Amino acid sequence: MATSPQQDGVRGNLALKTIGRLLSAAIIVAAIIAAVFVVRLYYIYPRTDDAYVRANIIGVAPHVSGPIVKLPIVDNQHVKQGDLLFIVDPRPYQATLDALAAKLALTNLQIKGLNDAIAAARAEQRRREADLAYARQYLHRIEPLLAKHYVTANDVFDARSKLRAAEAAVQNAHSAAAQAENELGQYGDINARRKQAEAEVEDARLNVNYCYVRAPFDGYVTNLNIAVGQYANEGRDVLNLVDNRVWYVVANFRENFLGHIRPGMKVKVYLLSYPNHSFRGVVQGVGWALYQPNGATVEGLPQVEPTLNWVRLSQRFPVRITLLDGDRKYPFRTGQTAVVTVQGYR
């Protein structure tokens, strides 16, 4: 049945109105979805792809200096705690240890001799004290006889002289015994001479043990650029170990996310190296400070930029996330790019 042009126009207007309403509804739905996504992103599950895997990298330095005589490891090797990393030439340190061990043996002999000298000095002191007692007794016995003329004044004078000599001898014996005890160096149960010699031997023994440098923890050898024959200096790093005990992610979140991130919150982590595998993590902490070149002190004066941008970019603060589960099939490597989503307390 044919329709009039007026009816066709009405139908066209109705179709346009319907399409307009559908578009309006679609825009509203899209706006609601976008709002939900923003709320989810900002307030429920903060997310960032500005994140990288990290591990502590420890420099291994010897406690002694000398040429490296053995290097049983290779670059990128996994080592366990206690594994031998390298050996510094131990021969000069072993010679020092042997010399100090001999010195300790001589010190023990000296101590024995000093103990014998102390015993002799004490015996001499007791003999002198006995002589003093006899001289004092003899003087007290003959002094009353002088008034009765049974002895002469010279006899009494001689007895008094012998008493003073005996007293001096006793004092000298006391000093000799004290000097011998001081030379022994005994303080309670500790002999200072032996303690010093033992400490020197222990220090030399430690130096010999320090020649054998071992892994302090499980980790990976990285950037190994040494060979046998290289001189190792005390306290200077010879090689680096990647600490395999704790792996973490440093995720840089915009500052308007930080109000919704707390230590202890669970985190889901994806690595670009393994895009189809997720890892669990937990927020260890949120950074407290960033370096600000504007306002930094230069030669004691504040540096302030003369311009102010109209568009203020939000700062990014580092959030440290401890990785909870490792997998040998998916090993961590420091520097891997990560995508993290904070899931809150779940």
Tokens 């440290």 correspond to 320
Given a cut of 60, whether residue 342 has pLDDT beyond it is yes
Q: pLDDT: is 307 or 33 the higher one?
A: 33
Q: What is the reported pLDDT for 4?
A: 58
* Each residue's pLDDT tens digit, 13-46: 666 677 777 777 788 888 878 766 666 656 678 9
CB 67 within 8 A of CB 232: yes
Q: pLDDT: is 155 or 75 the higher one?
A: 75
* Each residue's pLDDT tens digit, 67-107: 999 999 999 999 999 999 999 999 999 999 999 999 999 98
Q: What is the reported pLDDT for 12?
A: 60
Considering just the CA atoms, what is the radius of gyration of the chain in Å? 45
Q: What is the reported pLDDT for 310?
A: 65
Tokens 């006391």 correspond to 174
List helix spans (H) across the chain: 5-39, 91-147, 153-184, 192-210
- DSSP assignment string, 13-63: HHHHHHHHHHHHHHHHHHHHHHHHHHHIIIIIS-EEEEEEEEEEEEEE--S
Given a cut of 90, whether residue 59 has pLDDT beyond it is yes
Q: pLDDT: is 136 or 48 the higher one?
A: 48
Q: What is the reported pLDDT for 271?
A: 95
Q: What is the reported pLDDT for 120?
A: 78
- Mean pLDDT is highest, among 153-157, 298-302, 320-324, for 320-324
Q: What is the reported pLDDT for 3?
A: 55
Q: What is the reported pLDDT for 309?
A: 66
Q: Which amino acid is at 86?
A: F
Give the bridge partners for 70, in sequence order: 87
Given a cut of 60, whether residue 57 has pLDDT beyond it is yes
Nearest to 62 by CA among 235, 242, 225: 235
CB 213 within 8 A of CB 85: yes
Nearest to 320 by CA among 277, 255, 262: 262
Q: Which pLDDT band, with edges at 50, 70 and 90, does 175 fall under?
A: confident
For residues 189-205, give the mean pLDDT. 87
CB 75 within 8 A of CB 221: yes
* Each residue's pLDDT tens digit, 254-272: 888 888 899 999 999 999 9
* Each residue's pLDDT tens digit, 99-131: 999 999 998 888 787 777 777 778 877 887 787
CB 156 within 8 A of CB 142: yes
- Apex CA 93: angle with CA 91 and CA 97, to 5°? 115
* Each residue's pLDDT tens digit, 217-256: 999 999 899 999 999 999 999 999 999 999 999 999 988 8
Pairwise CA distance, residues 289 & 295, whole Å: 14
Give the bridge partners for 193, in sequence order: none
Q: What is the reported pLDDT for 281?
A: 95
- Sheet with 231-232, strands from edge to edge, namely 212-214, 84-88, 66-70, 231-232
Q: What is the reported pLDDT for 311?
A: 66
Angle between helices 91-147 and 153-184 (to 10 degrees): 160
Residue 220 to residues 33, 85, 212, Cα–Cα distance (Å): 47, 11, 18
Q: What is the reported pLDDT for 9?
A: 58
Q: What is the reported pLDDT for 292?
A: 77
Give the CB-side neighbour count of residue 137, counting CA atoms within 13 A.
6
